[in-house]
Structure 1
């Protein structure tokens, strides 16, 4: 394990494709260890992207303090990313590398900043989504079994679907959209796609169906509240729809019947998905562009979310979170038979107060 500057832990393609990663060692006082308790004084549930009211923001400011641990953050807090690799074109690699470098220079100062403080920045994600790195034994020089990380990422997906169901039941559109927006980014990250490799292909496919149902359910709610439009207060509406369209073409058709409906909703909203900053839309729209605009329907559960969620019965939990393993168990699976997280306190590990730094 080597020390890494925390600014290297970005969402760039080079970082993710390297595969190898180091954990930043040391207690919270170490200058190279980024204490992720910082920057709590913004709006909570991704509200930079979903047009929250001043009252919502004030409530979050009161609830959020700089010394709150990662596990105690508001569950939908959005942070800024550097421009993700899936937003770049692939037709001119040299040109894109130059462009990516420019974006990363800017991203180094914006990564992990509260999205509510940078409302014009497109690329955001829920902070909790970065926990998928904590389920990958490779990040800790460990080997447990081949599908451990895949099931760990699947566990995180289940937790997000559980959060969406809570928001749906509470009829909280802001929270519904914040989870959907997180899923859109999350599904396009190579590290997150590991859940598709679990040794239950049918289960993974059914979960993808439920993910699509979550999007359609949120879009239906937006439509019913008059927010399915180009100037929606949910400013990332078109971009998230484009991300789902991009993610939904990678799996068997029997689980992807929701994909064409994205185009139908975009047409109803008068949103051009090709102009949302997500690469590959032209080809996808050529395939699905014949869809008619979605007809409105006054039904809160038009897409049968409650039925599909109940059938999936996600469990969630932290079974695959390596940070929360007993030290003896981590040492047992480490290549050198030593706890790779020996330099952290139990409190920091339980609260998730560390980041993964990539080569």
Structure 2
């Protein structure tokens, strides 16, 4: 089954730390005289926690050598097999069970032995160079890891529970849709930089195994399905690009190639349990003259075909063997000759994105009452820090603005609001 998402936070407003940076404890995203100015995307509102988190990522990842080097994760940041307790229905119960599960009986005397836990790299493998542990499965580029961690900030900013507010039933789910759209735009804007595009793919692969599942609960299944199919095309476009650059191989410089491919396959399989990614339509694969077909909703078949063609080991998810068994690896792949140029788009990602922008543009803007006829996809309409004080007060349980003046001032200065 698709993994459960982590708890979004308590129902009452948690402590907010406006001066704290996003995710990894680094410095604020605010520019200073000693730091270069970070270009601000037009997606963001004038005052926006999302904008500040995005600037933080760009500031920290300016050095391509460190940004695109690979580091270890001591364990996956989501339940993965026997160590997860999928039968629990309440997050509080899960926390209690997790605490109990950290102790395992060792020996006939029933003595307890602590299971190793992540301590952020103090004693575990986290952040050690992947080159020092070539056989370790769980690894990400530094950029992919930070982008994934910053999604937790974006997620928290779109959760009304964190602000003691009620807005509408699916606010958080539509907020996740907005986040996924932003990641698609990140990929599009990184054209020409395959390493940054791969970082986006890493982030998507991990996010869709965690909080990303929240989007399946919204009342617009057609848009969710279209979004998932678009993300599948995005990843196939990435693999086609890597093939052009001869980077699809067991010994690729992309050290987590088999892991990310496997995570996308596992996600596609899980999505079908929600009735998504089941459209059996076919379309041309590459130029029509090649007479090749593929099914966009079953892109995991092409992932498996690429893995077999280049002998890439699919690793990571506990059920990868079952996932592979359910997929088809005997499907067509693009002809290298017709996909050899940078403009080649054998999986139709660019065309599908153009259509998606028209059909899905303005959804979050409409829900936040900021809609206009040319509202784009993505952005920060459902980030509660972008709302006016009056709008927040009207939806807050105590009719007071959940953000203090100090917090609002800090947001204006570029600080990243962390919740928890």
TM-score range, shorter chain: 0.7 to 0.9
Runs of 5+ unmatched residues, structure 2: 29-33, 39-50, 62-66, 86-96, 105-113, 280-295, 362-376
Task: Give SS of 2:298's match.
Answer: coil
Q: CA–CA distance in 1 between the matches of 2:389 and 2:115?
A: 41
TM-score (norm 2): 0.64
Whether the aligned pair in 2 keeps the contact of 1:26 and 1:343 (CA below 8 Å) is no
Q: What is the match of residue 291 of structure 1?
A: 330
- The corresponding residue for 1:39 is 26
Separation in 1, partners of 2:384, 2:116? 32
Report the secondary structure of 2:222's partner residue.
helix
- Kindly state the Cα deviation for residue 214 of structure 1 after the two structures are TM-superposed: 0.5
Which segment drifts farther, 150-159 or 196-205? 196-205
Structure 1 partner of 2:416: 353
- The answer to whether the Cα contact below 8 Å between 1:80 and 1:110 also exists between their aligned partners in 2 is no
Residue 185 of structure 1 deviates from its aligned partner by 0.7
Is structure 2 residue 7 aligned with structure 1 residue 24?
no
Map of 1:181 onto structure 2: 202
- Aligned residues: CA RMSD: 3.8
Question: Which residue number in structure 1 is paired with residue 188 of structure 2?
Answer: 165
Q: TM-score, normalised by structure 1?
A: 0.74
Q: Deviations over 1:251-285 (max 9, x none)?
A: 33116321211111111231221xx2222111111
CA gap of 1:352–1:206, structure 2 versus 1, over 3 A, is farther
Deviates more, 1:194-203 or 1:313-322: 194-203
Greater share of helix: 1
Q: Deviations over 1:10-47 (max 9, x none)?
A: xxx9991475265333553xxxx567695369xxxxxx
Q: Please point out which of 331, 337, 348 is paired with 2:399.
A: 337
Query: Which residue of structure 1 lines up, in the alignment, with residue 101 of structure 2?
Result: 97
Match in the other structure for 2:80: 88
Paired residue secondary structure (2:16): coil
Structure 1 residue 99 displacement after superposition: 8.4
Match of 1:106 among 106, 119, 122: 119
Larger Cα-atom Rg: 2
Structure-2 separation of matches of 1:317 and 1:306 = 20
5+ residue gaps in structure 1? 1-12, 42-60
Q: Identify the residue that residue 122 of structure 1 maps to in structure 2.
A: 139
Q: Distance in 1 between matches of 2:14 and 2:123?
A: 21
How many corresponding residue pairs?
313
Deviates more, 1:250-259 or 1:180-189: 250-259
Contact 1:24 1:356 in 2 (8 A): yes
Query: Are the aligned partners of 1:137 and 1:144 in contact in 2 as well (CA < 8 Å)?
Result: yes
Query: Partner of 2:307 in structure 1?
Result: 266
